[in-house]
């Protein structure tokens, strides 16, 4: 039986390294893309049985170029409006968002660019899972969860204790369990 081919889109090398070890030990072939542009290139050249997508990526000077390469034709302002729309949806649901959270997306910390790729994969019927880890005190991840629920996007969001993260084998073993369950259906 041929190994299942997975693609992991993860910008933190330490997390990708742990995930690679876990998935390869379980008998999967795991390709890694550290940017959304690289993920698009790999997806255009290869077929994957499953794609794992980090939800958040750092905002950078070249964000407009990277987003346009994804085929979304979005300017940094449009990306910021996307982040703001997440905040608006949560506020409409009764969750009050601290102003500094939205501003952090505008000013360069991390923004939920992984959602662009997840929506594209969902539209193409390519099996995927958004993978994220957070302490629920972090409103940014709560927004990610709410947005995914509203859009019916598949999300694995592990509520982690202080010191635990996507750098742990335990985290990726839980992701592996979810992937295997979905691939068996």
* pLDDT tens string 81-140: 655 665 565 455 454 545 445 444 444 455 566 777 888 898 889 999 988 876 544 555
Instruction: Indicate the domain borders of the chain.
Output: 5-184
- Strand order, beta sheet including 5-9: 29-33, 5-9, 50-54, 128-134, 155-159
* pLDDT tens string 20-79: 999 999 999 999 998 877 888 999 999 999 999 988 766 544 444 554 555 555 555 655
* pLDDT tens string 130-176: 888 765 445 556 667 777 777 788 888 776 654 457 888 988 999 99
To which H or E segment does residue 155 belong? strand 155-159
Which CATH number is correct for 5-184, 3.30.1180.20, 3.60.20.30, 3.40.50.2300, 3.60.15.10? 3.40.50.2300
């Amino acid at each position: 039986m041929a190994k299942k081919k997975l693609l992991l889109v993860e910008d933190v090398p330490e997390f990708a390294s742990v995930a690679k070890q876990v998935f390869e030990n379980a008998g999967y072939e795991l390709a890694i893309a550290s940017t959304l542009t690289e993920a698009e290139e790999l997806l255009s050249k290869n077929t994957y049985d499953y794609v794992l997508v980090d939800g958040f990526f750092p905002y950078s000077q070249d964000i407009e170029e990277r987003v346009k390469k994804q085929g979304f034709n979005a300017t940094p302002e449009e990306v910021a409006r996307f982040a703001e729309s997440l905040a608006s949806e949560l506020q409409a649901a009764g969750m009050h968002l601290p102003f500094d959270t939205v501003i952090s997306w505008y000013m360069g910390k991390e923004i939920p660019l992984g959602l662009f790729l997840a929506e594209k994969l969902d539209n193409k019927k390519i099996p995927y899972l958004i993978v994220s880890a957070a302490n629920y005190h972090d409103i940014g991840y709560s927004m990610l969860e709410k947005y995914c629920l509203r859009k019916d996007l598949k999300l694995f969001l592990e509520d982690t204790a202080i010191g635990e993260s996507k750098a742990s084998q335990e985290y990726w073993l839980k992701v592996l369990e979810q992937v295997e369950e979905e691939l068996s259906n």
